Amino acid sequence: MPSRAEQRRGLAANASKAGLVLAETRPPLRFSILVVDDDPETADLLKVLFNVESHRILGASSGVQGLRMAASESPELVLLDLRMPGMTGEEVCRRLRQQEKSFYLPILVYSAHVELGSRVNAMELGVDGFLPKPAPVELLKSAIIALIRRHRLRQNDAGAAVLGALSLKAAERRLDIAGGSSAELTPIECAICSLLIGAEGRFVSRELFLKKLGYLWRADDHEALKVHVSHLRKKLGPYGGLLECRRGEGYRLNAAEARRLSPS
């Protein structure tokens, strides 16, 4: 794990490149971001990455302050560090997900703690993405924009994606299953389920999953995908067998069986 000094040098190097990044593309949407990190240089980096005249970059130096500002300032995304004095980032995430106002608020973890256990634990608590600190500025910027755009699309889409006995309501992160049961999904499980339903019974390779969700994990990290697919299969309960894995091909939902189990 990089030291704080190494992290700062990395952030400084990233910030020095940001002018080139901004010269290439400028996001067409306006938004507000809340940075919850005891290191103020993270908020400073975002102020360099994004035009502060068009976007609001808010900074909270502790978890307690971050929760207070999330409630009062209504940001569209929280950029969250995991290790802070006092309240940890995991606890901040847990409390945000307990509140109706912030239940669907995009949370992107930006932390030097990149161990698989830390990432899986954070994702189980409901974060939408995880980037190591420091990350390339292009990746950090694109992840933020992608999550905000996805959140806005989710808010505007009240429909459901259906595959036989399964009906995914992405806006509510809920999977309805034949027989009247339903499962509450984490953001990652919802994204995985959406890809599988959209494939309509075809296998989706691990490589394609990581490409589509590449800003959530490191490119070579298949273990995190296996963990989340396993959790999704458990939430399907007696229908867990619909989620199949085949070596060399990836994962799929058995469309023929899902349609056979559908009451309609």
Do residues 122 and 163 share a domain?
Answer: no
Looking at every residue in the chain, the average pLDDT score rounds to: 79
Give the count of domains, the chain: 2
pLDDT band per the 50, 70, 90 thresholds, residue 77: very high
Do residues 163 and 149 share a domain?
Answer: no
Please give the C-alpha separations between residue 116 and each of 13, 159, 171, 191, in angstroms, as whole numbers. 26, 34, 28, 19
Examine the fold and report which residue of 111, 136, 155 is the final residue of a domain before the chain moves on: 155
How many Å apart are CA 133 and CA 135, to the nearest integer? 5
Do residues 127 and 23 share a domain?
Answer: yes
Asked whether the predicted pLDDT for residue 67 surpasses 90, the reply is yes
Q: Which helix (H) or strand (E) holds 7?
A: helix 4-24
The CATH number of whichever domain residue 211 belongs to comes to 1.10.10.10
Do residues 50 and 85 share a domain?
Answer: yes
Examine the fold and report which residue of 95, 130, 155 is the final residue of a domain before the chain moves on: 155
Long-range own/partner contacts, residues 97-106 (CB < 8 A, 24 or more apart): 97/125, 97/126, 99/71, 101/71, 101/74, 102/70, 102/71, 104/151, 104/154, 104/155, 104/173, 105/70, 105/75, 105/76, 105/77, 105/78, 105/151, 106/76, 106/77, 106/78, 106/147, 106/148, 106/150, 106/151
How many Å apart are CA 43 and CA 221, to the nearest integer? 28
Examine the fold and report which residue of 120, 137, 155 is the final residue of a domain before the chain moves on: 155
Do residues 34 and 164 share a domain?
Answer: no
Do residues 108 and 144 share a domain?
Answer: yes
Do residues 239 and 109 share a domain?
Answer: no
The CATH number of whichever domain residue 43 belongs to comes to 3.40.50.2300
Do residues 136 and 235 share a domain?
Answer: no
Do residues 114 and 235 share a domain?
Answer: no
Asked whether the predicted pLDDT for residue 27 surpasses 50, the reply is no
Of the candidates 70, 132, 134, 129, the residue with the CA atom closest to the CA atom of residue 103: 70
Do residues 33 and 70 share a domain?
Answer: yes
Q: Which pLDDT does position 213 carry in this prediction?
A: 66
Residue 140: which domain range?
4-155
The pLDDT tens digits for 216-250 are 555 556 777 888 899 999 998 888 999 999 988 89
How many Å apart are CA 200 and CA 182, to the nearest integer? 20
Q: Which pLDDT does position 99 carry in this prediction?
A: 82
Do residues 174 and 137 share a domain?
Answer: no
Higher per-residue pLDDT: 199 or 124:
199
Position 243: which residue type?
Answer: L
Do residues 199 and 130 share a domain?
Answer: no
How many Å apart are CA 48 and CA 213, to the nearest integer? 26
The pLDDT tens digits for 139-184 are 888 889 888 877 776 555 556 788 888 888 877 888 988 777 888 9
